[in-house]
Amino acid sequence: NIMLCLSDWQKGKVKLGHLDLEGALIARDRVGIQDFVLLDAHNSETAFLDNLKKRFTEDLIYTYIGTLLISVNPYKELDIYTKKQMDLYMGVNFFELPPHIYALADNVYHTMLSEANNNFILISGESGAGKTEASKKILQYYAVSCPSSTLMDTVRDRMLMSNPVLEAFGNAKTMKNDNSSRFGKYMDIQFDCQGDAVGGHILSYLLEKSRVVHQNHGERNFHIFYQLVEGGEEDLLRHLGLEKDTKRYSYLVQGECSNVSSINDKDDWKTVKNALSVIDFDANDIEHLFGIIASVLHLGNVHFDGDTKGYATLNTNAALRWLLEIHVQVLHEALTFRKIEAKSEEVLSPFTVDHAIYARDALAKAIYGRAFTWLVNRINESLENRVRGQQKKISDNFLLILCVLSFEQFCINYCNEKLQQLFIQLTLKAEQEEYEAEGIGWEPVQFFNNKIICDLVEEKHRGIISVLDEECMRPGDATDLTFLDKLEEKMGNHPHFVTHKLADKKTRKSLERGDFRLLHYAGEVTYCVVGFIDKNNDLLYKNIKDVIRLSKNPIIQQCFPATEGDSRRRPETVSPLFFNSGKVEICFFLLCLFSLFITGKFDEVLVRHQVKYLGLMEHLRVRRAGFAYRRRYEVFLKRCTCRWGGRTSSVFSPHKPELLFIFCHIQRTKIFIRYARTLFATEDAFEICKHELATKIETCWRGVQARKERDRRAWAVKIIKQFIKGYITRREAKTTDNSEYLAFVRQSYLNRLKNNLPKTVLDKTTWLTPPPVMTETSEILRQLHTRMMVRKYVRGITPQKKAQLQQKVVTSGIFKGKKDSYPSSVAVPFVDTRISQSFCYSVPVVKYDRNGFKPRPRQLILTQAAVYLVEEAKIKQRVDYVSLKGASLSNLGDSVMILHVALNDPKQKGDMVLQCDHLFEALTKLAMIANKQNNIKVVQGSIKFEIQTGKEGGVDFSTGQEPMIYKGKNGHLMVVAPRMKSR
């Protein structure tokens, strides 16, 4: 490989692929640095962005910051996710190959196995950055790289097929992304102690339910609605009361982009239906699930009018017939009235039109949201580890894939604050532990501590979340502005919080009266409080829940159980649900994959913003606070040395050892290099010296090969001379000179004979002609092989086949070589009878009258004593076998026979002229039953027959184009037989 590399390098034929490009000495300036820790100007944000841009331009979308991976979305298909690429990264050291998501996935998997700990992959970034695609790539990698078994294959299939289902029900087109995930999810894969996947689990949170009833311009509702309407079968749509037109449903047209060129809803529908089957959804579940989707669409088409007092009235339309399979009158009451408590009893209060629309939309969101939760739970049931209680070797190890996705910008920004805090802590901790283990002093690194911002959001009784929940639950009319007043009251002096009221004159110009601004880690962000109260609430009016429980749809009944507790007790708001789940799960974070949002070409302003809020420069500063490069000794030496000819040699020249160890720290288990330029100097020396070593190896190798070639040729000359001498003396008695040649001849003949043996006894030509030395042996082998084939054939003959062959032997003795049509009858098996009655034999025939030769259909029946000619149930002629003199037929291809009868009585009928389609079969049966094999004659020309005593007739035979039978002018029966092909 070294020589090939050097040869190609000298000839200028090196092709810079993704692997060669990053390793080539001449390409470093072109493609940048694959690990930012090795960036010389590591404190420069400009240098950071320039390195990203260089790599992005060459379609190198992955770059490391130590063990962190940055992925820049190329927004096009790259040929870097093939099976070949997966095989390349399996079991390879993390930094041994260029950065790739497969390297990260493989490293996490093997770390989990070696350390027997749970491991996490955190996928973070903005909408459209490629987080969903990244999670797919990781799952696909594990599907190929993990051990295979029936259980493993089932888990793989279901885990992979859960993606299109969750995308259909939880993803939608947004302004930034045509397949944006509108919910957060944790996905864990459960492995046993041997690394086999035995189960999985998905935890979803923060589904963007508001999208069900409202979409901004240029956006769509969840994919499943469009897939059902566009791709659903006619029978299904008719059953659900839907039409194949998305524009007819108000919940699907608010964004004014129902059809998107990059989305094929019909094909996606087929994928989703197939995926549901793989995940083990039964037909009833699928039918009820799509029934819920249709119900939401119909609910969106319900409209309200206002009466004279301004109260809402429900328009009766076709949509109501399909809503949740409940009564229109009950639904009418639920959507136009609400139950309130007055004087310790419940009364109905009428809705305004706005309230009715709110109730309708709340109902639609609640149904879809809980159906989505049911869907995730059903997927989890299919992924459940069912062998945990049966197999003691199952460990609790699992690998978690966590996608942090935008729902409300406030929530996601707070989550980023927590992640930033966590990243820095874990990175600092890992660095400090490594230096302590290697005996290197650690200098504290100064970084922005964003705990003050996290406390501002999450602190109990004082944080923004607590204030929001208190305002949602307090009695009276809580509004967004009263919520803003409470914020100003409780945190007016906080240095990271400002509103229009609290700001100075200069800042006040950039703030509206309903805004508040937080100084996040990544910079200032302004939030509008409009909608905070409604979006944090998740209330349904009591009577609406009662209506939902009347549904006959079993999924709805499971989602809204009757035992759901006191409906007057307010459920937990959205914010605590999100933040609590975030706190519990994120604390298990170990490794992360960052994905940046790019718009087709490198937008430095956009990338700079993401680099800042993701804290990438902070991570880089922490990693560079110590040493830029560290490797275990065995890994480093393996790269710097090569083994050939039984010896280990250094790639570096003996006179340049200082290039290897200058500025290096030799610690307990690793070698450390502080400065990136030192490593690059070492790498450059490595690139140069390895070619010098390759040249030396090439010289030695060519000498070894030349000596081997010399010896090989000498041996070949000797063998050829012996072969020629043996050929010359091959016909002489066996001697030392020809013994090897004769052995070669015997072996060659036997090898050829083995592959060309006759397959049947009738094959007389396949047997190979032997050389003189093998003549006797060949004849013995031929006889043995023939006997073996005969024995095998005889053993395979059944009693039925034996009887059939015995009849064919009789037929052959009578007709072979005598009648033209005989050969065509050989392959046709004889039957016991041609009619259903129990006789020795029977067959349909045509009988020609002895006077006039008129054809008459008859049955020829053979018994043990006589031959009968029968018309239906009437016997027309009976001839005892004693009186049967024999039978005659021509040698041509016709099917006419004459049965000759001894006329012992003047009243007795004469000979029978018959035509039979099964001529050979019938005559063979007759010959064997009557024992008349020697009385059947095949003649040429004409045949005479006796009409009665003293009176004769004749049958003349000839050949022609078409077979015919007619009375000739000479009074004879004329039979024209077809001309048979020569045989």
How far is 514 from 516, CA to CA, in rounded Å? 7
Report the 10 Å Cβ neighbour count for 846: 16
Counting beta carbons within 10 angstroms of the beta carbon of residue 367, is it exposed (0 to 12), middle (13 to 18) or buried (19 or more)? Answer: buried
**Residue 475: which residues within 8 A CB-CB, separation 6 or more?**
none
Per DSSP bridges, beta strands 398-403 and 119-124 are parallel
Question: What is the amino acid identity at position 104?
Answer: L
Q: Has 886 been labeled as part of a binding site?
A: no
What is the biggest distance separating any 2 CA atoms in the chain, rounded to whole angstroms? 148
Q: Has 231 been labeled as part of a binding site?
A: no
Distance of CA 974 to the CA centre of its chain: 74
How far is 497 from 490, CA to CA, in rounded Å? 11
How far is 891 from 2, CA to CA, in rounded Å? 84
Q: What number of helices (H) and strands (E) belong to the chain?
A: 34, 33
Q: Has 131 been labeled as part of a binding site?
A: yes
Question: What is the amino acid identity at position 567?
Answer: S
Sign of the dihedral defined by the CA atoms of residues 362, 365, 371, 373, in that order? negative
How far is 144 from 164, CA to CA, in rounded Å? 19
- Can you spell out the DSSP letters for 770-807? PPGGGHHHHHHHHHHHHHHHHHHHHHT--HHHHHHHHH
Q: Has 126 been labeled as part of a binding site?
A: yes
Distance of CA 433 to the CA centre of its chain: 43
Placement of tokens 């390793």 in the chain: 23
Q: Has 125 been labeled as part of a binding site?
A: yes
DSSP conformation class of 195: S
Q: Has 241 been labeled as part of a binding site?
A: no
Question: How many residues are present in the chain?
Answer: 983
Per DSSP bridges, beta strands 197-205 and 304-306 are unpaired
Reading the block at residue 765, the tokens are 């030509």
Placement of tokens 């922490």 in the chain: 622
- Can you spell out the DSSP letters for 556-595? HHHHS-TTS--TTSPPPPHHHHHHHHHHHHHTT--EEEEE
Query: Quick check: 317 and 249 in contact, CB under 8 A?
Result: no
Q: Looking at 97-222, list the stretches that DSSP marks H as alpha helix, in order from N- to C-terminal side.
A: 101-115, 131-145, 150-170, 210-213
How far is 775 from 104, CA to CA, in rounded Å? 70
- Can you spell out the DSSP letters for 937-957? EEESSEEEEEEETTEEEEEEE
How far is 59 from 81, CA to CA, in rounded Å? 13
For 117, the 3-state DSSP assignment is: coil
Q: Is 770 left (phi over 0), alpha (psi -120 to 50) or beta?
A: beta
**Cα-based distances in Å from 924 to 812, 910, 912:** 9, 22, 17
Query: Quick check: 652 and 661 in contact, CB under 8 A?
Result: no
Read off φ and ψ for residue 899, nearest 5 degrees: -95, 120
Question: What is the amino acid identity at position 300?
Answer: G
Q: Has 129 been labeled as part of a binding site?
A: yes
**Residue 385: which residues within 8 A CB-CB, separation 6 or more?**
190, 198, 199, 394
Q: Has 626 been labeled as part of a binding site?
A: no
DSSP conformation class of 182: -
Report the 10 Å Cβ neighbour count for 330: 14
Query: Quick check: 112 and 118 in contact, CB under 8 A?
Result: yes
Report the 10 Å Cβ neighbour count for 221: 27
For 303, the 3-state DSSP assignment is: coil
Angle of helix 223-231 relative to helix 283-300, nearest 10 degrees, comes to: 100
**What residues form the annotated binding site for ATP?**
125-132
**What residues form the annotated binding site?**
125-132
